[in-house]
Amino acid sequence: MRNFDLIVMDLDSTLIDWSDGIAKVSENCKRALLKAAESKIFVAVATGRTLREVILELEVHGLKFGEPIPHFVIPLEKYCYRIVNGKPIEDEALARWNRERLEEAKNAIERIVLPKASQWLQILSDAELSPSRWVLDTRAGWFSLAYDTPEQARRAEKFLEQFAAPHPELIVNRNFVFVGLVPTNGTKGKAVRFLAEVLGIPPEQVMTIGDSINDFDMLNGEHGFFPVAVANAEPEIKDAALKAGGLVTSQPASDGVAEAIEWALGQTQC
C-alpha cells in the first residue's frame, strides 16, 4: 500500500470531459476532488492553459476556485502558483522558479526559434505539412503549430524533432492536433517534481493523471510519480503509464479522475 499526498491532473480531456463537444465535470469527479481535500491531500491542476482560463473553467463547472481546490495550479505547463483563499500567490521558492522559467522561455523563442521559424515553416510546407495556424509565444516559450488531424501533428512531430536536435534547450511537445517546440525545462513533469520538492513530498507519494503526449513526462515514470492514464488517453500515454507501474482507468475523462482519486484514497486509508 502507498500513501498519496499530492494528486496532479491535466485539465482538458482529463479533469474536463469534452467527449460530446461540450465541456463538463461529472458530479462523481467533484465529490472525489472534495474528498481528496478533506483527506489532506494536495490537489493540483497542470495544464497548457493560462491561469485565468483555469479559474474561469473551474468556476463555470461549479468548482469555486481554491475553495478548497485546487491547492496549486501549473499553467502554461511550467509556472507554479499556490492558491490561498481563491487567490494565486507566489512564495519565494515559487517566484524564483517562475522567473527562471520565464527567462528560459524568452531565450528559447528570441534566440533560437525566431531566427529559424520561417525556414522551418517552409520545410514543413514543402512536405505538405503547412499548419492551419502557428503561434510564437514568448511567455510560454512555445513555437506551436495547429493541424486539422492528430495524424498530421504526428507527422510534423518528426520534422520538429530534427529541428530541435541541434538545440538541447528545446524539446518537442504534442497534444492531439497541436505540436510544437518548448523549453527543455518547461514541461509538466519537471514542474510537478519541483512542486513536490517544495512541499517535501517524495515522488512515490505523488499521483499524476493525464491523457495526451504533453503529459508524457509526468506519466512515464522518469520522475518517480505514480501515473494514471484516463480511459480516453492516447495509446502512447496508456502504454507509458502501465510500463511505469501505474494504472489506466476504466472510465474516461472526469469520471476517470474520480476513479483514480477513489483508488488513491483507498490506498491512503489502508
Helices and strands in the chain: count of H runs, count of E runs: 9, 12
How big is the chain, counted in residues?
A: 270
Per-residue pLDDT of the chain (270 residues; tens, 9 = 90+): 679 999 999 999 999 999 988 999 999 999 999 999 999 999 999 999 999 999 999 999 999 999 999 999 999 999 999 999 999 999 999 999 999 999 999 999 999 999 999 999 999 999 999 999 999 999 999 999 999 999 999 999 999 999 999 999 999 999 889 999 999 999 999 999 999 999 999 999 999 999 999 999 999 999 999 999 999 999 999 999 999 999 999 999 999 999 999 999 988 655
Say which residue the cell 490506498 belongs to. 267
Q: Name, in order, each residue with C-beta under 8 angstroms of 193's C-beta and a sequence gap of 6 or more.
A: 203, 223
Say which residue the cell 522518469 belongs to. 222
What is the reported pLDDT for 202?
97
Q: Name, in order, each residue with C-beta under 8 angstroms of 94's C-beta and a sequence gap of 6 or more.
A: 80, 81, 82, 198
Identify which of 251, 151, 262 has the alpha carbon closest to the alpha carbon of residue 207: 262
Give 126: exposed, middle or buried? Use CB within 10 Å, 0-12, 13-18, 19+.
exposed
Q: Greatest CA span in the chain, whole angstroms? A: 58
What gap in Å lies between CA 85 and CA 258, rounded to an integer?
24
Terminal alpha carbon distance of the chain:
7
Provide the angle, in degrees to the nearest 10, between the axes of the packed helices 150-164 and 114-126.
Answer: 130
The conformation of residue 244, written as its DSSP 8-state character, comes to T
pTM of the model: 0.94
